[in-house]
Amino acid sequence: MEKKRNLYLSNTPVEEARQIFMTEIKKTMGPRYEIIPVTASLHRITKDAVYAKYNSPNYNAAAMDGVAVIADETRGASEVHPLCLPADRYENINTGNVMPPSCNAVIMAEDIVEQPNGQIQITAPAVPWQNVRPIGENIVCGEMVLPSHHTIRSIDIGMLLEAGITEIEVIKKPVIAILPTGSEIVEPGTACKPGEIIDSNSRMFENMVETDGGIPCRRHILKDDPALIKRAILDAADTHDAVLINAGTSKGTKDFTVDVLRELGTVLIHGVAVKPGKPVILAMVRNKPVIGLPGYSVSAYIGFINFVTPLLEYLGSRASAQLEKVTAVVSRRLMSGLKYEEYVRVKVGLVDDRIVATPLARGAGVAMSLVRSDGFLIIPQYCEGVEAGEEVTVYLYRPLSELKNTAVIIGSHDLILDVMNDMMATHYQNLYLSSTHVGSMGGLMSLKRGEAHIAPTHLLDETTGTYNIPTLKSMFREPMVLIKGVDRIQGLMVPKGNPLHIKKLEDIVGKRYINRQRGAGTRVLLDYKLKNLGISPDQIDGYEREANTHMAVAVAVQSGNADVGMGVLSAANAMDLDFIEVGVEEYDFAIPKRYMELPVIRAFLEILKSDAFHRKLEEMGGYGYSKSGTVIDIGEMA
């Protein structure tokens, strides 16, 4: 059967055609979801953020082979004056063993000398928690393991299982019917006669669909018969998420596809302004998208990436990624042993015209750093390390295009950063947040060195009693803005029931305290309060013991590794701890004024102002948001 030539091809620009097509699809279709075993979730995409059910490790564990000791009993040991411990003052222990309740440090086997009488000799004192993996070192119960719309990797599966999660809700893979057409088309392996063409396109489509996160369903080759094509399209539309037809889309006398689609549904586009690949058909049949692609392989490929890939990304909530390597500047000095080639996990972002790599935790037990990292750099064997500002090669887990749309956040930690990152992934396609926690002052220093876009800060000026603005005025010469974040309640976190009856800050004297790292706003607040009370840091047992996040402080208290620590109410709520309020502080965001027009910064500001974000703050507890998103122009400093 033949027909008159179809001369009604349009020449719609690709972007316009794609917008028309996707707008129509979104009227009736969206991502679908299913619950599957975590063990079967590789490369699947999370529906919502996933939170840990268990701590990991869930007990205080030895990190080395050796002996468990009480750190205080090793004071004074040195090479000049070795110390001998009797057999009843230490316990042999292996890596991974439960720490004896009475012990709080491990001395490595190679650092002890066994004596004939059962004693051991040591030449250096142990410090509390030396070579010990505390409860929650890797994962804290209630901590976000994976954000929404995250593509699950092998390391993620391990962390999910370790966090007590065995089932996960993911985006359902879209199922795509592939209909090869043409009386001249034959299956691969067939001895071709003159005029016959081996079907290679549909096999290419199968793999492209799978690569883009879909499930391909290839049908048998259809002859150039309108009735056969019509039945195949209707059947495919009823049983699949989308239909892909190959060939028969142009203006030849045997090109029936467009006429059939006009009869069955609505043809939105026939012909796009691209060469090669003009004769593309975009249609809807029974509320399902149907894409007709040209028969020439290159044209078909171009049509696929322009129209099928965006469809699969939408239905699968998926963004394609590829491994790349880039030259980046290291944000801080990295020392390394000469014995090993070391892999350092990093967060990576593009700040102005420099790619900046910020190292993450390097401990062998902190596997979550793999989940959080954007890539890694290698410090070669026999190299002592890398200096701050030195250029290195970074192997990326994320494509460079994502890094160009990423706001690099370095500074004070708060749980709201995880929430904002999750909301960015959900509401702003191709815009990202990357946060690293180094404390308020560390973040401002990174900002000053041009290594970040945003520095979360809550630094109290003791002279004026004002948060953040005096510090910015003293540190920066370029024009700055301060975006108001949240008012948050800081206080003392104690075990449920407050067994030690801690009621005020003075009560931490004589208790086992866990502090925040130097430069953290929480630590600055503690020092300010202690100074006003006339309490010396030397009076605080554990003042030098540092944690990098509020949740790390909370888990130390919840697990019994500390009696008390200062943090925000939301962290105490997350770990079901009691809380003694110390004060309300202002947690804000310092940004150089020149970054305010970046799309990702505008999106960041919109999230801060959004009702959805405010509702989340109310759920978490301990936050005020009356000024969230207010921009204060600090101006240019003298």
What one-character-per-residue DSSP string does 3-29 give? ---------B-HHHHHHHHHHHHHHH-
Q: Give yes or no for residue 130 having a pLDDT over 50.
A: yes
Of 321 and 375, the structure prediction assigns the larger pLDDT to 375
Structure tokens at 200: 């290679």
Q: Cα-flanking dihedrals φ and ψ of residue 139, to 5°?
A: -135, 135
Q: Cα-flanking dihedrals φ and ψ of residue 11, to 5°?
A: -140, 55
The dihedral over CA atoms of 283, 286, 289, 290, expressed in degrees to the nearest 10, equals -60
Structure tokens at 44: 């699947």
What is the C-alpha separation between 420 and 623, in angstroms, rounded?
14
What is the C-alpha separation between 72 and 23, in angstroms, rounded?
69
Q: Which residues of 561-582 are buried (b: 16+ CB within 10 A; e: fewer)?
A: bbbbbbbbbbbbbbbebbbbeb
Side chain identity, residue 616: K
pLDDT of 1 = 46
Q: What is the pLDDT of residues 87-111, one digit of tens each?
A: 999 999 999 999 999 999 999 999 9
Q: Identify the three-state secondary structure at position 48.
A: coil
Q: Cα-flanking dihedrals φ and ψ of residue 95, to 5°?
A: -55, 130
pLDDT of 252 = 56
Structure tokens at 564: 């008390």
Q: Which of 493, 555, 500, 563 is nearest to 522 (CA)?
A: 493
**How large is the average pLDDT for residues 286-299?**
88
Q: Of 89-98, 312-321, 340-349, which gets the smallest average pLDDT?
A: 340-349
Q: Give yes or no for residue 278 having a pLDDT over 90.
A: no
**How large is the average pLDDT for residues 250-263?**
75
What is the C-alpha separation between 316 and 345, in angstroms, rounded?
29
What is the C-alpha separation between 140 and 162, in angstroms, rounded?
11
The 10 Å Cβ neighbour count of residue 517 is: 18
Q: Give yes or no for residue 5 having a pLDDT over 50.
A: no
Structure tokens at 600: 């990702």
Q: Identify the three-state secondary structure at position 390.
A: coil
What is the C-alpha separation between 66 and 73, in angstroms, rounded?
16
What is the C-alpha separation between 200 and 498, in angstroms, rounded?
71
Of 389 and 447, the structure prediction assigns the larger pLDDT to 447
Q: Identify the three-state secondary structure at position 519.
A: coil
Structure tokens at 76: 């004074």
Of 291 and 348, the structure prediction assigns the larger pLDDT to 291
Give the residues across from 324 on adjacent strands. Answer: 396
pLDDT of 65 = 95
Q: What is the pLDDT of residues 498-518, one digit of tens each?
A: 999 999 999 999 999 999 988
